[in-house]
Structure 1
Amino acid sequence: MNLEEYLQQRVTAVNQHIAVLCSEDGPLSEVPPRLREAMAYSLMAGGKRIRPVLVLAAAESLDATWEKLVPIAVAVELIHTYSLIHDDLPAMDDDDFRRGRPTNHKVFGEAMAILAGDALLTHAFTLIARTGLAEGFDSKVVLRVILELSEAAGPAGMVGGQVMDLSAADPAADYSGQPAVEIASYLEQIHRKKTAALIRAAIRIGGLLAGATSRQLEALSAFGLHLGLAFQIQDDLLDVTGQSATLGKAVGSDERTGKLTYPRLFGVERTAQLVHEHTKKAQKAIQDAGLNAKWLHEIANLLLHRHA
């Protein structure tokens, strides 16, 4: 099996579970139809499904069976999708397009978009708990999974990162008088919280569900951190060098809103080097940890060379 086949198999399973979740007679059947429609609109808008795939790949690196973990992987995607809906709101990043079509609030209005995000966030934990009970997972492991995900999504993770990101956004800001090391450190903290925290959590969750040792979990954590940083720095780079048709959203939005980004601080060439450096650090972290990490390595290489 090559990487394309590997990803297709797992992404298909994730998408099928999401389709059932959002169906009229599915687990969300008691949800008001308009709310369910808004949730489904963003959940089923496509996307790479990187985070749920990483849950499965991390578990597989410990020889776990991936199929029964799909619902928990989907829970991570619910959290990610909620964050995108809220990030796109006028009070946040004010984006009109996501994945090649109008953002949630452009279709359903701001109030419904906020509520759809809220619903996805909370239902993620329902999904984890129900899956844990149905599959007979150890209750302590399920609690650790919930802890990982709630911390990654909360005030010390994504929410805190968004606050820092908004605070640093100023088109007129002049950073020339500040030490470059301090600015770069602050920017890395934004990326660690806003993006890397959830990617790291996805990988740790896969490890926890597969019974990783402390050493293996530490290796997976380092892999997730550096992969998450590489992923977000690459996003910053693509906002400068990418094409709207490929990305499915407008390019140049970071510059227009005055976001603090790596290309803004260091230029395109150095930013590209940083993506490569963090990818290699991620791969090095899992080399000697007793993991069957073939797919994690290949996914990291794929993300390094992505154009969307």
Structure 2
Amino acid sequence: MSSKTPTDVTAADEPHQEISGLLEQMGAAPAPTFHSLSPEGAREMINAMFPTPEEPEPVAETMDLSIGDDGIPIRVYVPEGEGPYPTLLYLHGGGWVVGDIDLYDATCRAITNEADCMVVSVGYRLAPEYEFPTPLEDCYTAAEWVFDTADAMQIDTDNVAIGGDSAGGNLATAVTLLARERDGPTFDHQVLLYPVTDHEFDTTSYEENAEGYLLTKADMEWFWDHYLRDDLDAMSPYASPLKAERLEGLPSATVATCGFDPLCDEGAAYAARLEDAGVDVTHHHYDDAIHGIAQMLVEPMDLTRGRDLIDDVATDLQRVFD
């Protein structure tokens, strides 16, 4: 089920049957938790969890590039047809600690084809080697690159969106806040998939989904501890966008939340704050889904709810780009 009411974030009686089956399989052969591992161990574990398909979903073209003074890797996915192309700058999830361009390849390919747009995926530097705000500044550099190289890359600057999932959603919100304050890149839309929006752990969804649905409360505390330098960072709106004093003037937004996700309530709260600030918001709530479904597009975890989310995102992007 997907609803578009920003306040409707209740969970279903139980997860979707495919998700329940996946959780049962994982429970039969339990893996270590993120918070029990070193960052290096967590990266190895998540790479093993999400297999690389033998034949990736085809797109017209892909380009692996390096940008900025620090050599930030990006991968550009080009759709069929002729440019200039509407474009989505995509920032991957992984709690700022794990994840990379390769891990989100299937997600970006699916969005490219379903939304018929170019996707620029950013391999920002990870914590704890690079703490806040370095990953954010890497993403801001990528945002500037999209506009600075628009002619050469065949990017339609009248139709550029920014988005990401989980920690990537957090970074996307923060880039839009930075761009507003710095009079920087102007985005037409933001796509926030079950985003991290606040350094707090006291919501109902944190209490009800603390364990048992892949992402746990203890995991999120571990991720935050690696990302932030100190407690003062946690109060910054560029780390906790829900703490921003004002959200007026930000791009229209697609916000997705999942019923069995510790982050559900803070995502819904951010959607409501945006709407209160006069921002046009479409909120998709998947009451029977768990955190991470946008990434679960490759067998053996090619989930219906993951495909539903990609379809909804593509529909919203096409509406904006039209």
TM-score normalized by the length of structure 1: 0.32
Query: Which is greater in Rg?
Result: 1
TM-score normalized by the length of structure 2: 0.31
Which structure has more helix as a fraction of its residues?
1
- Larger RCO of the pair (alpha carbons < 8 Å, separation 6+): 2
